[in-house]
Structures are given as C-alpha cells and as structure tokens.
Amino acid sequence: MLSERFAAQLLSGPPARTTGEVTGRLLAVQAQDPRGARLAVRARSAGLRAADIDRGLTAERSLVVTWLNRGTLHMVRSEDYWWMHGLMSPRVLTGNARRLAQEGVPPDSADRAVAVIERSLAEDGPLTRGQLAERIAAAGVRTEGQAIVHILVLASLRGAAVRGPVTGGPASPEQAYVLVRDWLGPPPAPVDHDTALARLARRYLAGHGPATDRDLAKWSGLPLRDARRGFAEIAAELDQPDGPSQLTRLTRPARQSHGAKQAALPPPLLLGAFDPLLLGWASREPYVGAHQGIVTVNGIFRPFALVQGRAVATWTVVRGEVRLNPFTSLTETDQAALDREAGDVKRFLRHTG
C-alpha cells in the first residue's frame, strides 16, 4: 500500500518535469504556507526552482491559490479552479459567515467589503492584502484581527477573487489578489455536482491511491456521502474488491505513465511544511508513527525528513542554511543523502530571476 501511495504522490519513481505535472497529479496542494507549497513541488520534480512556481502564478497564470479543500488555501492548476470552486465553496460559506460574525463583521458590512474588493481590483488590481485592507477600512468595515482574512475568504468563495501574481521581489514576495474574470477569463460551462464528484474521486485516487472513501472525505472536507457518491460514479474504473470503505485503486492509475517499474520506497527526502503526504488521508500514522506530536503541533505541520518512508527528523532554514533536528539515529548513508537534499533545497529556494 505505502509503496503505491508514494508512487502516486510522485515521491518515488521518475520525478515530474513541470510544476503543472506535480499540481495536476496532486490536484490541490495546501498553500497556507507559501514556501511549503513550493517545496512540495521540489520534492516531486527535478530541475525546477521556486521561481518556476512563481512564474506559473504570475506570468503564465497557469496556477492560482484560493480557499478550497477544508476551507483552507490550496494551489491548483487554473483549469481545475472552476469545477473545484463550484464543488467546494458552498460547504465553506456557512462557516465563513459564522467567523465574520465572531469578528464583528455583520452580513451587510461583509457585502460592502466584497463590493470594495471587486471595485478596487477592477480599477487598480492586482492588490495585496494590506492594500485591500486599507480600502475596506476606509469604507467603514472592520478589518482588525482576523476580520480581513475572512472578508478575503468570502470574496474568494463568491468567485470574485483569487490569489494570483507574486509581487514584492525576491526579498519580500507576496501574492496579490486579482479578479477571477480578469485573470482567468470567462468561466467554462458549469459542471454538475455528480460529474464534479466523479472527477474529484478519479483525480484524488490518481495522486493518493490506494485510499478509502473516508480518506477522500477527510482530504476534501466534503461529507462522506459525497465521497461515496464520487466513488460510485466511477465504479467501473476502480479496483475495490471489498467495497468503497476499503482500500480502493484506479484500475489504470496515472502513475503507469511514468513507467512500469517503481521504487518500493522513496529515497531520503526533505519535505516542507504542510506537505501533501501528511494531509492526503484520514491517518498520517504510516508516515510519522510515534512522532506525530513532533511533526504536527497545534495544527502546524512542520517540515520533516523522510527516510525509508518514515519521518526521522524535523528541519528548518536558518540564515540560509538547512538545520536538521533528528529524533532517531541516522546512518551515515542516510545523513549524506539528506545533506544532498539540503543542498538542493537551497538551490531550489534561491531566486535568480
């Protein structure tokens, strides 16, 4: 099972060559930590740099970041934005309204804030969070605390705005907001609910299989009944001898396009914060074991090192250098491999244009 998942995640076997290939396989990469999202691409590809992801978000407009799965920020291919937004956003709106009320932003004020965002982006966009906050506050809407965040979430859930271009330069990069209609053009024909669920199930299993319906529900934030409906819609494409609540595979997984022979386990790797490997299934115990309390702390998923498919250390970057904090002994061979990984992390993060 684990070797199949690692291959599906592009952590073993031939690496991807483009950002779109990684993002397309994983479908949605958690992006509340921008560096973590970029490092997720690095670990699954060869020869790319962080600047390549920035180019996809900016000049190419092939990637966007917005609130999708579980109401959290995810990076997706622009072509996947439309149907995923239509599928995910209705379920998140209720929670967003509750949070806005808690932050002292009643519905009429929230509507006024979204109108300010749309007008400002139409006239002067792209604009950063700080620039939008100033304009919203000038309109008499509370932006203190977490209010501005949930106002921006609302504008995104309504399909008005997404995070697009990276601005500010290498020293202090920031992702600006843009109008969806200006940035991505007119939307394609709507996708009905069952078709979207089928697409979600198929794409999820391509990047996470084998998995269960509960894994899909946990990853997406959708109800279990929707996950089961998605599996049912593509039943003819699945290998599920014991039913959808057991481990399920695509009968012709996407990973086969990378060649029939796959490594049993990935080589030693440095994975970033909120790596998809920790967020793709109902349980992360197979990857972190007894160290879950070290790797995941109060909802924060720390960067960690993977050896033989298991977490063996956390790591951070201090003054440009990777510092490893092992919680188990490492062989000289594994340490040397992680040292090479550290060098590649530095190369990947280095902005050269």
Of the candidates 9, 20, 19, 16, the one whose C-alpha atom is nearest the C-alpha of residue 45 is 16
Question: What pLDDT is stored for residue 257 in this prediction?
Answer: 44
Omega before 106 cis (within 30°)?
A: no
On whether the CB atoms of residues 268 and 341 are closer than 8 A, the answer is: yes
Domain count, the chain: 3
Is the pLDDT score of 255 beyond 60? no
Question: What pLDDT is stored for residue 169 in this prediction?
Answer: 67
Helix, coil or strand: residue 104: coil
Question: What pLDDT is stored for residue 352 in this prediction?
Answer: 43
| Within-domain flag for 9 | yes
Residues 50 and 71 in one domain: yes
Residues 227 and 105 in one domain: no
Residues 303 and 240 in one domain: no
Is the pLDDT score of 254 beyond 60? no
| Within-domain flag for 23 | yes
Q: Rounded distance, CA 86 to CA 68, Å? A: 9
Write out the DSSP string of 3-56: HHHHHHTTSSSSPBSSHHHHHHHHS-EE-SSHHHHHHHHHHTBSS--HHHHHHH
On whether the CB atoms of residues 203 and 27 are closer than 8 A, the answer is: yes
Residues 58 and 95 in one domain: yes
33-42, 79-88, 344-353: range with lowest mean pLDDT: 344-353
Residues 29 and 177 in one domain: yes
On whether the CB atoms of residues 80 and 26 are closer than 8 A, the answer is: no
Give 99 or 328, the one with higher predicted confidence.
99
Q: Quick one: which H or E segment has residue 73?
A: strand 73-77
| Within-domain flag for 264 | no
Residues 51 and 172 in one domain: yes
Q: What is the DSSP letter of 336?
A: H
Last residue of a domain, one of 258, 285, 301: 258
Q: Rounded distance, CA 81 to CA 86, Å? A: 8
Which residues, including other chains, have CB under 8 Å from residue 138's CB and lie 6 or more apart? Answer: none
Residues 108 and 42 in one domain: yes
Is the pLDDT score of 18 beyond 70? yes
On whether the CB atoms of residues 249 and 4 are closer than 8 A, the answer is: yes
Domain containing 232 equals 197-258
- Share of residues in the chain with pLDDT > 70 (%): 93
Question: What pLDDT is stored for residue 239 in this prediction?
Answer: 84
pLDDT, one tens digit per residue, over 132-142 is 999 999 999 99
User: What average pLDDT does the structure give for the chain?
Assistant: 93
Q: Rounded distance, CA 189 to CA 158, Å? A: 17
Residues 28 and 170 in one domain: yes
| Within-domain flag for 263 | no
On whether the CB atoms of residues 253 and 237 are closer than 8 A, the answer is: no
Residues 176 and 202 in one domain: no
Question: What pLDDT is stored for residue 123 in this prediction?
Answer: 97
Instruction: Please tell me the chain's helix, strand, coil percentages from 3-state DSSP, rounded to the nearest 5.
Output: 50, 15, 30
Question: What pLDDT is stored for residue 68 in this prediction?
Answer: 97
Residues 275 and 252 in one domain: no
pLDDT, one tens digit per residue, over 140-191 is 999 999 999 999 999 999 999 999 999 976 666 799 999 999 999 999 999 9
pLDDT, one tens digit per residue, over 52-61 is 999 999 999 9
Which residues, including other chains, have CB under 8 Å from residue 218's CB and lie 6 or more apart? Answer: 281, 282
Residues 299 and 334 in one domain: yes
Q: Look up the pTM and report it.
A: 0.93
Question: What pLDDT is stored for residue 263 in this prediction?
Answer: 56
